[in-house]
Amino acid sequence: MNGPKRTDRTRLTHDDRAVSIAITHALTIAITTILVSGLLLASGPFLDAQEQRVSQDQLNEIGSSVATQISTVDRLADSGDDVETTVTVQYPTRIVDNYEYTVELREEGDRTIVEVSSEGVDRASSFQLQTNTDIDNGSSTDGPDIEISLCDDNGDSEITLEGCD
């Protein structure tokens, strides 16, 4: 052999066989990590938007049902008899499995407004209806058990969400 003698150390430092397999594995792991991170970051706003849509739908369903029950109680008051009754309707305990909600009854002019709101999702749903019976303006209650009461006070009927005295 002519030339400098190769030691084991110099032989290993200049050996580049099988390097491409290690680099391929490292690049594959890095690219996969970047892609998965990107998917997780991109799905966050989509899931938030979906939660907002579902919560609005649930508030609409509850509000619509309460408005229907109030209309029914109002028709009962129009029957001509002095009637006092309470209708208790059960709704979900929470909307979107996490957030409590409040149902409020108020008057605006000659319209009755039923508003269902949740601070947790910063949403509200309002329904207008026409009633012939007076409304306990500002009465409110939290779900899940909503009591709609028709109270008679010396011949004057009133619909409330807070029960009769």
Nearest to 162 by CA among 94, 55, 83, 88: 88
What are the residue ranges spanned by the domains of the chain? 42-160
Q: Is the pLDDT of residue 3 over 80?
A: no
Residues 6+ apart with CB under 8 A from 164: 84, 86, 149, 151, 152
The residue among 86 and 156 whose pLDDT is bigger is 86
Q: What is the pLDDT of residues 66-104, one digit of tens each?
A: 999 999 999 888 877 778 889 999 999 888 878 899 999
Q: What percent of the chain has pLDDT over 70?
A: 88
Model confidence, pTM: 0.72
CB 97 within 8 A of CB 106: no
| C-alpha span between 93 and 154 (Å, rounded) | 36
